[in-house]
Structure 1
Amino acid sequence: MAFDLEAYAAQSLEQGKGLEDVHLELSGQLRDIRHELRGLINHRYEDFLGLSTSLTGVDGAVAAVRAPVAAVRAEIEAVRDDLAQRLARVEERLRYRAAIRAKKQQLRLFIDLSRLLARVDAVLGEAGAAAGRGEERAEWLERAAADLAQIRYFVAKGGGHPFARQAADHMRRIEAALLDALGRSLARGLAAHAAGADSAAAAALVAQCLRAYSAVDEAGRAEDVVRSELARPLVARALGALGGRGVGMDPGAFAAALQRILADVARVAVPLAAGVEAHFPAGGHALAARVFWREAAAAIMRDLPLLFVPGVPDRFHRNYLAACRFMREFAALFTPAGGPAAPAAPAELLAAEPSYAEFNRKWQLDAYFTIRKQQIVGALVEGPGAAAAAVPPASGSGSTPTGSGSTAPSSPDPNDDVAQVQRESGLHTELAARAVWAVGRCWAPAVYLEPLAARFWQLTVQILVWYRHAAGRALQQLARGGDLAPESAGFDEALRHVHDAFVVRALADDQTRAAGCLLPEAEAEPGGSGFRGAMVAAMQDAVAQTWAPLGADADGAVDRLAAAIAAASCAALAGQLRRATAQFRHTSREPPAAPSPFVAALFAPLAAAEQRVDGLRRSDDAAGFARATKARLRAAVCADVTLELARACGEALAAISKTEASLLRLRQSRAGAAAAVAGRGGSAPDALPVPAGLDLRGTVPATDNDKIRRQIWLDVGAAARIVGELGAQPHREFADFAQLIAPLGA
């Protein structure tokens, strides 16, 4: 193996060795090699000496072999040189034959080219003579067009040859004459078709001319002829009655003009396309898209440029829908009754037509949405307290309209519509009515446009967010005002806001489902859930997420109203309880057998509040509001009232027990008092409302205190029955207290 000096130096450098270290290392290796060589020679010395004798005579043997090998090599080189000369002569003859063949091909091409030129001249001459006699020879022109296509190919193959250049000049003269003759024939065919004279023959003539134009790759010229001779006058007659440049274009006049175009196209263009299609399958629907549609779209965009500006949004909306209907009906005119046309349906041809995309792009939908949004938001912020809750700008809402007539006019006063919505929806606050009106306005047939579905949905969500903030702020202001007594105006106002929040949520769900029907339809997804169904589900989820904070605010408002009802119910509870128990003290009255009248009165404010809740219901959408609100009020009021009743009764019973214990201590000694207590079955701690060991069940109360205890037991039981009849649950502390005073019952 050869020694690699560079690799060894690089390795040593990586190992950090210096020059002296490398020198010492190499010197050591050299000594080892020399020592190993000497040992090898000494070990096999006889073989080493035999090397010199075994190589004797090798040079002679090599010289003897070299002579014949050199002779063979010389012979091979001589044969190779001879073959190279022969191959060169063969290649020279092949090149000569190839040149001869190329010249023969070029000569044959020039002969064919000359024959084609002469034949086309003759055909054009005969066609011209026939035209002079009033005869139509379109089939001759079609053959001449096919020959002209070959002539173009031959001229291109001829390169820069003088004959090819001369033929090119001749070809251009023939081309001009042929295109002129084709133009006259096509114009005569179109005129005959428009006049209605033998439409089948006219369509055949037009198809022949179109095939001839296609053969010479001049379809654009043929389309220009059809456009100027047939389509342009047709569109001009239909649009000629429209005045101005489209500013505030009357939708009725515009729709009527489009219908006139459709009628003329159905009368003239559709039969022509069908007749051409029978003779030239690639020409009929191409005329529909590239000639008639392009001319109609170009005339509208050229003569009515301000039609696409939403200066008057109501008219713009109707004009846009009329244009969309025109495009659909135009494509349908050229669609056979059995299905899409072959090779491409008219709708596909229109979609591929550049003027179709330009016509759609000309409509300033962004500016239209901006104007509509300004109108809707402006109507929202005009409401009471709504100016502080402006709707944020929608993402992708489009730029501000520019150009003449693009400024949004003052929107009509929506107060009448809002009042009608308020009456029909059963709403009580103008805030909610304006929100419902605004959401309905987004999807109204006179406002909504399908390409703007996503933006109108964004605006709908923003309107709901606006109402959520405004209604939540109104509820919070009522709560901070502290005027939520059951008979106050604030109580009724809070109920109205809660009612309207519930109704608006129901109406928002209904509007979401209705809006889903307006979304563009797509192919059904696997499993049967279509595009619209999935979108409606997603929209409903978005409404639910948007509405969750307002639902929490409404629940909090109901809880505060319940707390106000409970506070009003229990305001005189202590005095009523004292009066109910005082009638048995030192009066020798019979033991009580019925609960106190004030117990039923505790729940009278709740009943009055429920009647006011029922009075708010004006529509079926509010039925759920009444059920949910009354259930929440009952649960909260019953819990608070029973808690206060349990505490008041507990304090009264504890006071009786303390009084009894004090009297015993005053009249008797400590031991006597203990014996008296033990004789009743136990001790009577001051902290318990019912002394230990006291059990009045099955007995007739004899003392005044026992009568009072029995009255309290009756009152607590009556409260428990009323709560049960209301379908609510008492407070946990009340239930524990009722179980504690069970020994006081009959």
Structure 2
Amino acid sequence: MGPNQLQGGPIPSSSVVFPSPATRSPLPRLPQIQAMADLAVAPTDLFGEPIEAHPPWFKPEAFLRADFDPDAYVADLRSYVPLDSLANELRSHLAALRAELVGLINRDYADFVGLSARLKGVDAAAARMRAPLAELRDKVAAFRAAAAAALAALRAGLEQRAAATAARELLELLLDTSHVVSKVEKLIKELPTAPSDSSNIQAVSGDKGYSGNANTPPNVEAGTDVRETQSILLERIASEMNRLKFYISHAQNLPFIENMEKRVQGATKLLDGSLERCLVDGLQHRDGKVIYNCLRAYAAIDNTSSAEEIFRTTVVSPLIQKIVPQNYAKAVAGVSSDELEDDYEQIMQCVEKDCKFILEISSSANSGLHVFDFLANSILKEVHLSIQKGKPGATSPGKPKQFLKNYKASLRFLDFLEGYCSSKPVVTKFRSEPAYADFMRQWHVAVYFMLKFQDIAGGLDSALTTTITPVGMHENQTKPETLLLKQSIKLLESLQACWSDDILVFSHSDKFLRLSLQLISRYTTWLSSGLAARKASDGSSNSPADAEWALSVPVEDFIYVMHDVNGVIAVEPLKELLPTIMNAMIGVIVKRSNEDLKHLKGITATYRMTNKLPVRHSPYVSGILHPLKVFLEADRIHYLSEDNKTNLLHGSTDKITAIYYDMVSEVVNVARKTESSLQRLRQGAQRRVGASTDASDNIISDTDKICMQLFLDIQEYARSLGALGIDAREIESFRALWQCVAPRDKQDTIQF
């Protein structure tokens, strides 16, 4: 079919099928294609806006993902979308895709039509190119097979070479192992017959031996050269033994190594025994070079613990046993006490005199002996064992005073030992040793603190459960800064005990601080409970035990309480109790004053229905402020500061005056209401009999007489306040009281 046969328009969506060339049919004409393409136009609403093609749950872009799974997609949607709806949407989407494909074909329709014309002769050209390409493919396959065979042969050769190399290395390792074992056995056998004067060995000694110090005594004994020679050989044997261990670790589970195991164990045993004898001999003769060489040998075989144990049993243990008896029966019999301070002093002298030399050797520069810790694993360990065996009671917290003394002496001893540490890392290493941890573990400081906690806290609690008692009141009258109450004194003693040198353990200072705060809190609770019960004034059996003291003491004793609180104020809650204490005293004074104020109500009966006029103040007025005067004139009032006295005076007079005003206003109001009722009754009776109602206009009413009497009373009350140093005009409730009873011509000016 040539291009002249392609007539018509674009291809419709229903015919987007590409048959083979043999069955290819003529394309539809252009009008048909255009008519079907018009059907693919997106629908619109009444306003011309495009309608959403798909519902929200249908996402066409999901089909474009590389990991799209149709089964999972359908299973996910069928839980909330009917399958019919899903099928309809898929058909609609398929139709849209076909329409889109038609549109793409119509866009480049001319090129699509001319495609068949340009492909003329393509089959023949492809046939001509197929033969050389097939020949090239065969050559490439042959070359690939040859390369693969060569690579396999090369890999096989490399594997054989590696296996041979490994076998050779293993054989060399076994030979070296056998050679080292034989060499170690030979050197061990030479130890007893080593020459005493060998120039070669002396040269090695000069290079590797310990140089000694000024305090080292000269080696004048006959066997000095023999010991030094043996120590040099032992160091050499230890180096070989270390190499032997390295070889064995790399050739484990081999029959050859297993057959030499007995020989290695025998050589190790002989080396350990010889090293021990040589080191003991060197320690006994204080031979610095021998000790140095032996320690290097122990370091080489990584057996530092044996050297530390030999020094402990050979040197340290005999010295400590002379100071701390190991027989506990003698200690119980009184031959030795449980105090450790003197023992530590002697031990420190022995360390300085008899142990310092090995500490200097092990800490010498570039010696490689820093791996030893004779301080912890020899000296401190032996001291710990001696205390456990000879003085087990020294670490018992059941005797707190002795325990603390021994514990502090032990800390000073540890400080002494740390003085031999050359640097901070060495101190850290010393403290990390198990011997150090075991030594500190024997001091049960937590148990000691609990005992002291019970003693201190229990003493204060016992004091707070008793009635408050002034202590040394007469002796301390000239010293108001001294605490007065037994409870306050006990609190201060308890706080001082927490931080005294005889009780405090610095490592538990946080716990003692917590105890101090608990003591203050307990004292504060005791005060607040009592003040709350006093304020309630019920005195019932439901009151807590802490409140009984406040219900049974006179109010004057609260002066002591306020004085002591000012003396021991340390926290804010305790300071906040001062106003409460002041209010408790003021409350009692006001309550006593109310007993005299109650007589005020008798004024109404005195002047009702009588012609009597007031001429002087009532007798009750002089008793209103009498309780306050008595309180201020008592002997113990000097324990209050001037500020507290002023607050007590102003607080009491303010409350008394306020109550005075309430009672006066009540009396006046009742009198006026009563008089108003009587006047209405009187006027009604007069109207019934036809009498004149003007006869009583010039008569002084009962209310006026009551107000006149009350006016005289408050003037006297103001003068009483003045005698106490209080200006009544400054009291707001007094000004209201004046306005309540003063005549109209005197209400603007307060004069008394």
* SS state at 2:398 partner: coil
Q: What are the ranges of 5 or more consecutive residues in structure 2 without an aligned counterpart? A: 1-62, 197-221, 540-549, 607-611, 684-691
Choose the corresponding residue for 1:274, options 321, 335, 360: 360
1:64 aligns with 2:86: no
- Which position in structure 1 is the counterpart of 2:502? 446
Separation in 2, partners of 1:345, 1:28: 81
Separation in 2, partners of 1:380, 1:44: 108
Separation in 2, partners of 1:720, 1:420: 35
Separation in 1, partners of 2:382, 2:175: 45
**Change in CA separation of 1:300 and 1:37 when aligned onto 2, cut-off 3 Å:** same
**Change in CA separation of 1:67 and 1:300 when aligned onto 2, cut-off 3 Å:** same
1:222 aligns with 2:223: no
Structure 1 counterpart of 2:573, which letter?
Answer: Q
Separation in 1, partners of 2:142, 2:88: 58
Choose the corresponding residue for 2:415, options 318, 322, 328: 328
Structure 2 counterpart of 1:149, which letter?
Answer: N
Q: What is the TM-score when the length of structure 2 is the normalising length? A: 0.65
- Asked whether the 8 Å contact 2:295–2:369 carries over to 1, the reply is no
Separation in 1, partners of 2:501, 2:304: 44
Structure 1 counterpart of 2:299, which letter?
Answer: S
**Change in CA separation of 1:13 and 1:37 when aligned onto 2, cut-off 3 Å:** same
Choose the corresponding residue for 2:567, options 497, 506, 509: 506
- Which position in structure 2 is the counterpart of 1:633? 648
1:175 aligns with 2:256: no
* SS state at 2:554 partner: helix
- Asked whether the 8 Å contact 2:296–2:369 carries over to 1, the reply is no
**Change in CA separation of 1:342 and 1:127 when aligned onto 2, cut-off 3 Å:** farther
Structure 2 counterpart of 1:496, which letter?
Answer: D
- Asked whether the 8 Å contact 1:461–1:546 carries over to 2, the reply is no
Q: Percent identity?
A: 20
- Asked whether the 8 Å contact 1:350–1:356 carries over to 2, the reply is yes
Displacement of 1:268: 2.0
Choose the corresponding residue for 2:370, options 283, 287, 291: 283
- Which position in structure 2 is the counterpart of 1:360? 440
- Which position in structure 2 is the counterpart of 1:351? 431
Structure 2 counterpart of 1:447, which letter?
Answer: I
- Which position in structure 1 is the counterpart of 2:285? 192
- Which position in structure 2 is the counterpart of 1:255? 341
Displacement of 1:288: 0.9
**Change in CA separation of 1:16 and 1:152 when aligned onto 2, cut-off 3 Å:** closer
State how 1:514-553 maps to structure 2 within 5 Å.
543-545=571-573, 548=576, 550-551=577-578, 553=580
- Asked whether the 8 Å contact 1:245–1:304 carries over to 2, the reply is no
Separation in 2, partners of 1:325, 1:448: 16
How far does the alpha carbon of each residue in 1:318-361 deviate from its partner, in whole angstroms, 9 at most, with x for none? 333333333333323x14xxxxx236243x23321223233333
Structure 1 counterpart of 2:567, which letter?
Answer: A
Displacement of 1:298: 3.6
**Change in CA separation of 1:299 and 1:72 when aligned onto 2, cut-off 3 Å:** same
- Asked whether the 8 Å contact 1:226–1:291 carries over to 2, the reply is yes
Displacement of 1:219: 1.1
State how 1:550-629 maps to structure 2 within 5 Å.
550-551=577-578, 553-564=580-591, 566-567=593-594, 605-612=627-634, 614=636, 617=639, 625-629=640-644
Aligned residue pair count: 614
- Which position in structure 2 is the counterpart of 1:393? none
Choose the corresponding residue for 2:555, options 481, 494, 498: 494
State how 1:571-720 maps to structure 2 within 5 Å.
605-612=627-634, 614=636, 617=639, 625-640=640-655, 642=657, 715=716, 718-719=719-720
Structure 2 counterpart of 1:219, which letter?
Answer: T
Separation in 1, partners of 2:162, 2:318: 60
Displacement of 1:383: 4.7
Displacement of 1:205: 2.8
1:208 aligns with 2:303: no
Separation in 1, partners of 2:347, 2:459: 40
Separation in 1, partners of 2:626, 2:96: 122
- Asked whether the 8 Å contact 1:248–1:311 carries over to 2, the reply is no
**Change in CA separation of 1:236 and 1:190 when aligned onto 2, cut-off 3 Å:** same
Separation in 2, partners of 1:303, 1:45: 116
- Asked whether the 8 Å contact 1:146–1:215 carries over to 2, the reply is yes
Separation in 2, partners of 1:35, 1:492: 105
CA RMSD of aligned residues (A): 5.5
- Which position in structure 2 is the counterpart of 1:540? none
**Change in CA separation of 1:472 and 1:111 when aligned onto 2, cut-off 3 Å:** closer
**Change in CA separation of 1:26 and 1:72 when aligned onto 2, cut-off 3 Å:** same
Structure 1 counterpart of 2:135, which letter?
Answer: A
- Asked whether the 8 Å contact 1:145–1:213 carries over to 2, the reply is yes
How far does the alpha carbon of each residue in 1:192-250 deviate from its partner, in whole angstroms, 9 at most, with x for none? 23xxxxxxxx3343232112111111112211211221222233222216735999998
Higher-Rg structure is 2
Displacement of 1:100: 4.4
Q: What is the TM-score when the length of structure 1 is the normalising length? A: 0.65
State how 1:282-301 maps to structure 2 within 5 Å.
282-283=369-370, 286-301=373-388
**Change in CA separation of 1:218 and 1:381 when aligned onto 2, cut-off 3 Å:** closer
1:243 aligns with 2:258: no
- Asked whether the 8 Å contact 1:422–1:433 carries over to 2, the reply is no
Choose the corresponding residue for 1:150, options 240, 243, 259: 243
**Change in CA separation of 1:61 and 1:456 when aligned onto 2, cut-off 3 Å:** same
- Which position in structure 2 is the counterpart of 1:318? 405
Separation in 2, partners of 1:31, 1:630: 101
How far does the alpha carbon of each residue in 1:243-276 deviate from its partner, in whole angstroms, 9 at most, with x for none? 3599999876332223332222222223320233
How far does the alpha carbon of each residue in 1:555-611 deviate from its partner, in whole angstroms, 9 at most, with x for none? 3311223314544776888999x99xxxxx999x9xx9xx99998886565344223
How far does the alpha carbon of each residue in 1:528-575 deviate from its partner, in whole angstroms, 9 at most, with x for none? xxxxxxxxxxxxxxx322564x44541331122331454477688899
How far does the alpha carbon of each residue in 1:620-652 deviate from its partner, in whole angstroms, 9 at most, with x for none? xxxxx4334422321133335555777899989
Displacement of 1:736: 4.5
How far does the alpha carbon of each residue in 1:444-484 deviate from its partner, in whole angstroms, 9 at most, with x for none? 443333344344444444444444444455556667389xx
Separation in 2, partners of 1:31, 1:371: 92
How far does the alpha carbon of each residue in 1:380-429 deviate from its partner, in whole angstroms, 9 at most, with x for none? 45558449x9xxxxxxxxxxxxxxxxxxxxxxxxx9xx978998884554
- Which position in structure 1 is the counterpart of 2:450? 370
Separation in 1, partners of 2:109, 2:426: 99
- Which position in structure 1 is the counterpart of 2:733? 733
Structure 2 counterpart of 1:255, which letter?
Answer: E
Displacement of 1:65: 1.9
- Higher mean C-alpha deviation, range 350-359 or range 217-226: 350-359
How far does the alpha carbon of each residue in 1:85-125 deviate from its partner, in whole angstroms, 9 at most, with x for none? 44444444444444444454445445544554454445444
Separation in 2, partners of 1:100, 1:429: 98
**Change in CA separation of 1:426 and 1:145 when aligned onto 2, cut-off 3 Å:** same
Structure 1 counterpart of 2:588, which letter?
Answer: L
- Asked whether the 8 Å contact 1:145–1:215 carries over to 2, the reply is yes
Separation in 1, partners of 2:236, 2:348: 36
- Asked whether the 8 Å contact 2:338–2:393 carries over to 1, the reply is no
Separation in 1, partners of 2:492, 2:73: 89
- Which position in structure 1 is the counterpart of 2:138? 74
- Asked whether the 8 Å contact 1:187–1:229 carries over to 2, the reply is yes
Choose the corresponding residue for 2:147, options 83, 86, 109: 83
